[in-house]
Structure formats: C-alpha cells, structure tokens
Amino acid sequence: MKGFRVRRPPTRSQEILPLPLAGPDAVYLLKRSSARRSLALRVSEQGEIAVNAPLRLPRHEVERFLHRHADWLRDRLESVRSRVFQWRDGAELPWLGGRLVLVTLSPGGRPAVRREADRLVCAAEESALAAAVVHWYKREARPLLAERLAHHAARLGRPVPLLRLSDARTRWGSLSPKGVVSLNWRLAKASPEEIDYVICHELAHFRHRNHSPAFWREVERLYPDHVEQRKRLKAEGGRYFEF
Ligand SMILES: [Zn+2]
C-alpha cells in the first residue's frame, strides 16, 4: 500500500518554567507539539509569556532562543505593564471588585466628580479627567480602608494603628517601624476580600516583621482565605495599577 499515511493527532505537552531574565518571579509556559517545526514566543495582553516548541527540542535550545529575544521580551513586558488607561466616556473603572462606568460631562467651572449608582459622573476638561477621578478614589478609599483596618484590629484586640494612604507603584501595603500601616489607595478597586487580606497581612507584621513561615501562620490565623486572595491580587494587580 504505497503512499498511505495514517494521520495521528499531534502529541502535546505543557509545563511552566522559571524565566529569570524577565524578573525574579517570572515564569513562562512551554507548549510542545509534535506538529511544530519551529519556535515561537508570545506575550499576552496580560503579560503571560508562552513559548511554542517542537516536541523533542532540547530545553537548552529553548533557553538559547529566549536569551536571543531577551530585549524584545523585556520591551514587550514593559509596554504591557505600563499600558495607559484610556480616559474616555464609557470607560470601565474598577471599584470594590466590580466596576463603575465613567460618564464624562463638559465642565462647568471646577472639575466635579460624583457617583450615581454604578456610574461615576465626571465634569472636567479632558486634560483634568484623570486627576479628578484619582482624587475621588483617594477621598473614598480612606474611610473605606480605615473602617476595615479598625474592624480587623478590634478582632485582634489591638489598638487601631495609624493609617497612611500610599501611592506606591508596586505594593499594596506596608508597616513602618513606628507601626503606621500604609495602604495603597488603589485597593479601593479590589474586592472586599482582597482588601481584608492585605490589611490582615499588614497586621500580621506587628508580630513578625518578615515573611517567615511563622508570619504566614499568623496570616493564616487572621485571614484563612489568604491564599486565594493573594492569587487574585496577583492576577488582577496589573489592571488595578493601570491608573
Ligand atoms: Zn509583607
């Protein structure tokens, strides 16, 4: 029987591997397939890195390929991470794990922002829109975060620590040596559960000023669902930091 070929579905495999050249915690998804003859590198809109490779290509060949494209990869990650938020009418603003729809009005004097149910109505010049909305977030975030901080401190029988609203570009919270809890105003975009986790994380630092196993046991005690909320913050974090 000449020229007869059985077509088999391709064999595939997937694994997640560390990628130090893209950052200390960076990983990439290596997708192998017997149907592939060449290597391809992709970075998704969410910043996930994936490499498609032939099924039996040695790992060091894949790594060499990644090193050859390191500059491109870093540029691409940088641009994904610094994606600028589109300030326009109808834009979706993350708020307490849900969203508000931005409604823009032409300004009548000073910029004014008010919330109407799930809409954030903003009367401002286009150039002042971002600043006006951020100002509104900060104003709303403070009492909201203060209330949760007081709630969890009371649960622990601790005096309520001082709260400082932070504008850090990468971190959600910190505890100063003097016992002041800093919380990022962008937490107002996160869900109540994510907020509670961050607050319990900082409160746990009163007992352990490090991230030792003992510290994580304390977090576990204060907020048993911490693993899930940490995962979500990691996954959504990029979106919350768009503005
Ligand atoms: Zn910490």
Strands 49-54 and 92-95: unpaired
87 C-alpha to center of ligand 1: Å?
32
150 C-alpha to center of ligand 1: Å?
19
pLDDT score, position 167:
92
Residue 30 makes CB contacts below 8 A (sequence gap 6+) with 14, 15, 16, 17, 50, 51, 53, 62
For residue 31, what are the β-bridge partners? 14, 52
How confident is the model over 35-54, as pLDDT tens digits? 999 999 999 877 889 999 99
pLDDT score, position 238:
80
How confident is the model over 65-116, as pLDDT tens digits? 999 999 999 888 888 766 668 888 999 999 999 999 999 998 888 889 999 9
pLDDT score, position 104:
95
Please report where in the chains the tokens 């910029």 appear, as a residue: 111
pLDDT score, position 195:
98
pLDDT score, position 5:
65
CATH number of 92-240: 3.30.2010.10
Q: Interior CA angle at 17 toward 45 and 224, to 5°?
A: 80
How confident is the model over 176-207, as pLDDT tens digits? 999 999 999 999 999 999 999 999 999 999 99
Strands 40-43 and 12-18: unpaired
pLDDT score, position 109:
80
23 C-alpha to center of ligand 1: Å?
19
**167 to 62, 78, 182, 230: CA distances (angstroms):** 39, 20, 9, 20
pLDDT score, position 23:
81
203 C-alpha to center of ligand 1: Å?
9
How confident is the model over 153-182, as pLDDT tens digits? 999 999 999 999 999 877 999 999 999 999
34 C-alpha to center of ligand 1: Å?
44
Nearest-angstrom CA–CA distance, 10 and 37: 12
202 C-alpha to center of ligand 1: Å?
6
How is the chain split into domains, by residue range?
A: 12-81, 92-240
Distance of alpha carbon 28 from the chain centroid: 17
205 C-alpha to center of ligand 1: Å?
7
174 C-alpha to center of ligand 1: Å?
7
210 C-alpha to center of ligand 1: Å?
7
